[in-house]
Amino acid sequence: MTDADEVESVFPGVYKLADPKNPTKKLLATRNLTPGKVFYGERTVRIKINNENVEFRFWDPFRSKLSASILNGLVFFPFAEGGSCLYLGASTGTTVSHVSDILGSTGKLFAVEMAPRVARELLEQVVKHRVNVVPIIADARHPERYPSIYGTFPVIYCDIAQPDQTDIAIANCERYFPDKKGSLFLVVKASSIDALEDMNKVVSEQVRKLERSSFEIVQKIDLEPFDKKHAMIVARRT
């Protein structure tokens, strides 16, 4: 059992904890909303806090670009307990599960995934166990067709690895930001947009596209060494 004093808060709902295998090393973790249940083979640790045994799940930066972004210096983190998020490109739910931990049981995450096989895994492995994740099996290119969605989202996360990913992200923000204002986390996979072009050039083009659509760029983060030729663009419309 690790000591509560060793829990370092990084952002609301995100912590740094000593690695039980190598106590000099600190790893990112979120508080498990579903104690006893893990989602992608991640390790857990239990810590006694105010007489309660709290389970944390380590958040692997090699498996999640949001975790990689935090370790590479992310400064803005609008995810918090009770909040809501529209997540495009949920895949089997690795990052979704950690964002779900952060939003907590009073928050809501709407997870959009288009590929049926992947979506089946998302439903079986994550949605079934988490009260705050609502699946949307749909193509993010058509936000107007999402079934079972209600309201607007102050935060949109987009990780879909498509050539037109920035246009797709903007279309979703246009439709689902409250009053067209909010925060966008856009994962840029440079090779999906232009396999031959230099990554910095591809990222700069996406930045210009966002600026033309009235976004202010908060931060650009290179995700090396966790993901090669990937960047996170954090942008805001105010």
Ligand X SMILES: C[S@@+](CC[C@H](N)C(=O)[O-])C[C@H]1O[C@@H](n2cnc3c(N)ncnc32)[C@H](O)[C@@H]1O
Residue closer to ligand X, measured from CB, 7 or 160: 160
Binding part of the chain for ligand X, among 45-53, 87-95, 101-109, 212-220 by CB under 6 A, reads 87-95
* CB of 83 or CB of 93, closer to ligand X: 93
Count residues binding ligand X (CB under 6 A): 19
Q: Is 231 helix (H, G, I), strand (E, B) or coil?
A: strand
Decide if residue 164 touches ligand X (CB under 6 A).
Answer: no
193 part of the interface to ligand X, by CB under 6 A? no
77 phi and psi, to 5 degrees?
-140, 90
From 139, 211, 216, 224, residue interacting with ligand X (rule: CB under 6 A): 139
206 binds ligand X (CB under 6 A): no
Chain CA centroid to CA 152, Å: 18
- Provide the CA 158 distance to its chain's centre, in angstroms: 8
The sign one gets for the Cα dihedral 171, 177, 181, 184 is negative
Q: Give the residue from 229, 225, 182, 177 showing the smallest Cα distance to 202.
A: 229
Based on DSSP, count helices (H) and strands (E) in the chain, helices before strands: 6, 12
115 binds ligand X (CB under 6 A): yes
Binding site for ligand X (CB under 6 A): 64-65, 88-89, 91, 94-95, 112-115, 118, 139-141, 159-162
